[in-house]
Amino acid sequence: MRRLLATALASLLALAALLWVLLRPATSPPAEQFDVAKALGDAPSQGFARATTPRAFHFPADHGPHPGYRNEWWYFTGNLTTDAGRRFGYELSLFRIALSPDASPRASAWGTNQVYMAHFALTDVAAGKFYFYERFARGGAGLAGAQAAPFAVWLEDWRVESDPRDVQTWHLRAAAGDVAIALALTPCKPVVLQGERGLSRKSAEPGNASYYYSLPRLASDGTITIACVDSEGGQRALEIIKQLTADVEIGQVYTGKVKKITGFGAFVEVLPGKEGLVHISQLERHRVARVEDVVNLGDEIQVKVLEIDDAGKIRLSRRALLGDDTGEPKPGANRRSPSRHRPKPKPRR
């Protein structure tokens, strides 16, 4: 009886296993994933143009894409200062990567042999904030692309393009998360060709190089937008705005940062973008031989505003906050006492 039951159970298990094999859903092999590192450097370079010798550059055409090459990029960075003195830094980079030397004809608008990636970053110095984002898109269906005439390179709504009225001016726009920038960029200096007339060699191996040029100075004008999503951040932003719009007042005490040291004193930033001088005589109540004996670059110190002259120069004092001292020289303090050994005048003959 036990043997019969065991035989029947084994038959049922075998039948169940056979049915699972026959009826299980068909599975397709895993799709090949896109490897950014491989596309940027490890993929075979056969069929692509190589940077081997110096070439002639022609602008503005060379600002646009060069489809024969596998990789190219457009890289923008800058330091920005508002009218009130608030400082920002930004970066927007867009990369074009060709997956094959030639684009095969495809009926679908989504078909492409080009991949784009981009990186956007913004530094808010006063708030101590750094924002950064990245995106990827195929170069089809208008999601990303680059063109020479008129110049434009984009990935979704991150975009750099020439002004239709002035090809020497570019418009840069990017928005993500809580930040956005919209800038007009105008070159202040001519193009600089890096390396050997624009050929930047990476090693002695032929073709291990890139064509590389820079525009080292771009006059920038536009707007930076920073959103706030909580009450604490909103209050902090409000305090920063108050500081940026405040005026330095005589008699007020500020906590400032030492921005520069000279032989005659220290310059202290009391409000964003607003500095004053603490003369070496105003650092301590006693005589100071060297400014660095009292303060160093980057120190935060309390100072009192003594005077603001007609040119807007601010005179500060640390000494005035050290006990019962106004910071002003005492009457007669700088006068020389009469000498007891003053020579008598000789009689005239």
Mean pLDDT for 265-271 is 93
Are 56 and 125 found together in one domain? yes
pLDDT tens, position by position, 184-238: 999 999 999 999 999 999 888 888 899 999 999 999 999 998 886 566 766 666 6
Instruction: Give the residue from 194, 226, 258 where a domain finishes.
Output: 226
The whole domain housing 260 covers 247-321
Q: Are residues 280 and 195 in the same domain?
A: no
Structure tokens at 204: 């002695």
* Reported confidence tier of residue 296, pLDDT bands at 50, 70, 90: very high
- Identify whether the C-beta of residue 228 lies closer than 8 Å to the C-beta of residue 240: no
Residue 253: DSSP 8-state: E
pLDDT at 65: 95
Q: Is 295 a domain residue?
A: yes
Cis peptide leading into residue 272 (ω within 30°): no
Share of the chain above pLDDT 70, in %: 75
Q: CA 50 to CA 309: how far, in whole Å?
A: 62
Does residue 22 surpass a pLDDT of 60?
A: no
Q: Sorting pLDDT into bands at 50, 70 and 90, what band is 164?
A: confident
Domain boundary among 181, 197, 226: 226
pLDDT of 87 reads 92
pTM over 0.75: no
Instruction: Tell whether 10 is covered by a domain.
Output: no
Number of domains present in the structure of the chain: 2
Residue 56: pLDDT band with limits 50, 70, 90: very high
Phi/psi of residue 12, nearest 5 degrees: -65, -40
Q: Among the three residues 226, 255, 272, which one is the final residue of a domain in this structure?
A: 226
Q: What is the pLDDT of residue 106?
A: 82
